[in-house]
Structure 1
Amino acid sequence: MTDIDQICSVLDRLTLDALTLMEEQIQIKLNIENAMCGGETHLAKSRYILGQNSVSSLQLPTENSPEFDAMTTVHLEESDEFFGEKSRELEVSKKEDQIDPVRWFGYLVPQDLYHAQSMFKQALQWIIRGANVQTNLIQTCNKIQQLKELKKEVLASN
């Protein structure tokens, strides 16, 4: 097998990988949209059940509220890979000892508020996965571009 054949074979594989990642990214965006819409719907139902002032921005913490830490944080993990490239991936850290934010709206809240919280947590997971797929897609496209330039150089030298 010649150098051109090898380069073309790798280009074909990477192009298929890029198309698969694009399809996955589209599906993830649809899942994010569904989770957000579901969360907003459950939040609206909770507001209807409890009254418009019971589920509003008035219950959210302000500058004068006591300090609290987020229950979920997202951080960037970097690791070395082959050929000196770094792999970057978002990961979630959870703190279980925090007060449930649903309690900001009272102690006897409708189940719809818990469902909304669950849907928004699900949306966060989809968003992180989508960001990771986007990163992989960018890396794959960069590799494709590099191989195309290498192919041009090999063809020009022959």
Structure 2
Amino acid sequence: MTCEQKADDMEMVCDLLDKLVLRQLLLIEDKMRCELNIETSINNGCIHLAKSRYIMGQNSVSKERLPTESSAEFSASVTCDTILEDNIKQLKIKTETGSSVINPLNWFGVLVPQNLHKAKDIFKNSVNYVVECVNIQLQIIENINNIEALKKYKNIILNRST
């Protein structure tokens, strides 16, 4: 391998490393934004739950109304599937429909306040943010692996020159 080829390879590897590091910074920024969205959603959902508890009374909206181990079994309303997208494992939300899906608002009575409906919608939306955050984290891990592989290749190029 000539010095000119080594220099070209080194330049190409350094350019790729620069691009991967910039992508890593963008992914970290996206992940932080996603985490803030999760935090905001959960806070808003909790505020609406507190308002519902105030309207209905502290015993009407409490943990005693939630199902226990001895309750009838039911399916989750939202599940995740793993898919392969751009050679990166990603999660995709799959909403369950059918007779086995139970509306959790029914645990608190038939006529529930609008705030409880809002809280349910907000918590449902926060699941989307969580999945988005996990997908970004998977991309960050893949990016780190690519950076490490390029660093090893760069060291191999450097060691050939000696």
TM-score, normalisation: structure 2: 0.89
1:63 positional shift: 2.1
Flag structure 1 segments of 5+ consecutive residues without an equivalent: 82-86
Flag structure 2 segments of 5+ consecutive residues without an equivalent: 1-6
One-letter amino acid of the structure 2 residue matched with residue 7 of structure 1: V
Residues 67-106 of structure 1 correspond to what in structure 2 (within 5 A)? 67-78=73-84, 81=87, 87-97=88-98, 98-106=101-109
One-letter amino acid of the structure 2 residue matched with residue 76 of structure 1: T
State the match for 1:130 in structure 2: 133
State the match for 1:143 in structure 2: 146
- Following the alignment from structure 2 to structure 1, what is the Cα–Cα distance between the partners of residues 124 and 30? 20
1:117 positional shift: 0.6
SS in 1 for 2:67: coil
- Following the alignment from structure 2 to structure 1, what is the Cα–Cα distance between the partners of residues 81 and 67? 23
Structure number with larger C-alpha Rg? 2
- Following the alignment from structure 1 to structure 2, what is the Cα–Cα distance between the partners of residues 36 and 116? 9
Q: Deviations over 1:139-158 (max 9, x none)?
A: 10111111011111101111
- Following the alignment from structure 2 to structure 1, what is the Cα–Cα distance between the partners of residues 150 and 59? 59
TM-score, normalisation: structure 1: 0.91
Q: Identity of paired residues, percent?
A: 40
Aligned residue pair count: 153
Match of residue 20, structure 2, among 14, 18, 24: 14
- Following the alignment from structure 1 to structure 2, what is the Cα–Cα distance between the partners of residues 66 and 28? 35
1:74 positional shift: 2.0
